[in-house]
Structure 1
Amino acid sequence: MSSKTPSSGLTLQGKVSIVSGSSRGIGASLALELARRGAKVTIVYTSPKSEALAKDLVAKIASLENGSQSITVQADLSKVDAGEKIVAATLGAFGNQIDILVNNAGVMFDKSIHDSTAEDYAAIFDVNVRGPLLLVKAVVPHLKAPGRIINISSVGARCGFERMALYSASKAALEGMTRGLAAELGGDGTTVNAVEPGPTESDMLDDVPKEIVELQLKTTPVQHRHGTGNDIAQVVAFLASEESRWISGQTISASGGYLML
């Protein structure tokens, strides 16, 4: 989608945001939509191979010419110091406050219980659960009230799929964390919510077993299609806005009706 696509106005003008896992796929769409609405965005990527994609996204955001800005940070969310590194770079670029955090970085897992190991458990939970937790911890001292925290979960948190027990468990844990943080951080108006995409066009979709994707499409009421990054971005941008102020501790299924909560 072109960076010139009209947005819903500059509803996030001057806000400072962090989007993890945002060099490609859903994360890139999230970062671009926040920028379309005027936000400054820290684009976080993990692999050096993603650096070029992250820089391309910075160029797209610059081309908006609406006051938004962006920087890139390479950080591995499986490392305990990643959150502090991301926050330090954000504050250095945009000043002493952060308004919006989107925890999008995550890893897929497709292995039977017979083949799963303790090392597999650590690898997926370090990124999908501990990573968001420590990034929130690093952000909170700088979060300007009322802040917005949005965690990207998956329909896998509520549905059972073969060979994906560890992935589902990690995303269910992220939703439990969302509710706990919403209770803990809401006193100043900060909201914490989760968004559950269904099958969505992205590199990660290629890692989902074909039979699962086909079944999901057949049972997705809205147009029987994959979601797009922009479909998810519109939901996240709303949750990042003032208009969502009375929604917290919720999980929103952004899946075309595949999963109806």
Structure 2
Amino acid sequence: MTKSSTITSTAYRSLEGKVALVTGASRGIGSSIARNLASKGATLILNYTSTSSTQICNDLASELTEKFGGKHIVVQADMGSQEGPNHLIETAASKLPNLQLDIIVNNAGIISDGKIEDFKIEDFEECYSVNVRGPLLLMKAALPYLPNDRSGRIINVSSVSATAGIEGQSVYGGSKAALDAMTRSWARELSARATVNSINPGPGMTDMWEKSSAGLSGDLRALMSLVPLGKVREGIDDKRISKENMGLRPAYVEEIAGIVGMLVSVESGWCTGQVICANGGMRMSV
């Protein structure tokens, strides 16, 4: 075995021995992040909210074990409730003795669309409970289990909506802007224990996307036209995507997960407090 092949082999299992917690892991971006981290050797704590996702998440855990080895655990906990984050951490600690949370991905979130005239206080409270309070309470509960040598990696899944000024997303965009603000604060507070960064996806090809026959809305189609990496590649990308969206495409969830995989690596140890592009260049353009 040559030196170069040894390096490649080690890099493939670069997260061996690490424990990674992913909230909202049952589908979409969350499940893709879980697959990415498991492929690198991490042990996954897979969180989901609704009972309807129980089998999906259990199947994902089995898939990860079959493909990548290891024993991955599943924990149902509502990140929008006051008790959910603490329950998630306590359950994980009971199932994994001597728990150290090397990686935390705050991915669970909900979207709230609506213009000012349609604003409802309950929509605001639900969105901020999941997207803002949930990650904060989770981090509070996780503090005793974080590394003490700055090797920890915390990734918050934000959105281009935090800064792009998308019409009808004052509540959702505001919640993600708050998450970005917390990212910067945590980067300072936790500097001796972990790096803390956000990623800001734009439209992604999630299950919700694929169930939609309309494709991109008018507003998002206009924004996607400015994305350097959003042009469909002939013979590579799904022809249906091109037909529905005038030659444009959203991100594949694996592309977004790959950015998380990069940020949790040992090589990313000098990067903290940042919002990292995960949108094909959309935020650069608008």
Judge same fold: TM > 0.5, yes or no: yes
Instruction: Indicate how the Cα distance of structure 1 residues 187 and 144 shifts in structure 2: closer, same or farther if over 3 A, else same.
Output: closer
8 A Cα contact 1:17 1:98, kept in partner? yes
Q: Structure 2: how far apart are the matches of 1:201 and 1:228?
A: 5
Query: Residue 124 of structure 2 corresponds to which residue in structure 1?
Result: 121
Residue 46 (structure 1) aligned to one of 46, 49, 73: 49
Could you tell me the percent identity over the aligned residues?
41
* Structure 2 stretches lacking a partner, 5+ long: 1-8, 232-248
Residue 240 (structure 1) aligned to one of 244, 257, 264: 264
Instruction: Indicate how the Cα distance of structure 1 residues 115 and 130 shifts in structure 2: closer, same or farther if over 3 A, else same.
Output: same
Residue 88 (structure 1) aligned to one of 87, 90, 94: 90
Q: Structure 2: how far apart are the matches of 1:186 and 1:64?
A: 34
Question: What's the RMSD between the two structures over aligned residues?
Answer: 2.0
Residue 202 (structure 1) aligned to one of 203, 206, 212: 206
The runs of at least 4 aligned residues of structure 1 exceeding 4 Å deviation read 204-209
User: TM-score normalized by structure 2?
Assistant: 0.84
Structure 1 residue 180 and structure 2 residue 185: aligned? yes
Query: Residue 153 of structure 1 corresponds to which residue in structure 2?
Result: 158
Shift of 1:218: 1.6
Residue 59 (structure 2) aligned to one of 28, 50, 56: 56
For 1:243, the aligned partner's letter is E
Deviates more, 1:145-154 or 1:171-180: 145-154
Query: Residue 164 of structure 1 corresponds to which residue in structure 2?
Result: 169
* Structure 1 stretches lacking a partner, 5+ long: 1-5
User: TM-score normalized by structure 1?
Assistant: 0.92
Structure number with larger C-alpha Rg:
2
Residue 73 (structure 1) aligned to one of 72, 75, 87: 75
Query: Residue 219 of structure 1 corresponds to which residue in structure 2?
Result: 226
Cα shift readout 1:174-230 (whole Å, capped 9, x = no counterpart):
000000000111024x10000011111113545997113322332211142211111
Give the SS at the match of 1:149: strand
8 A Cα contact 1:40 1:94, kept in partner? no
Query: Residue 140 of structure 1 corresponds to which residue in structure 2?
Result: 143
Q: Structure 2: how far apart are the matches of 1:132 and 1:7?
A: 32
8 A Cα contact 2:38 2:68, kept in partner? no
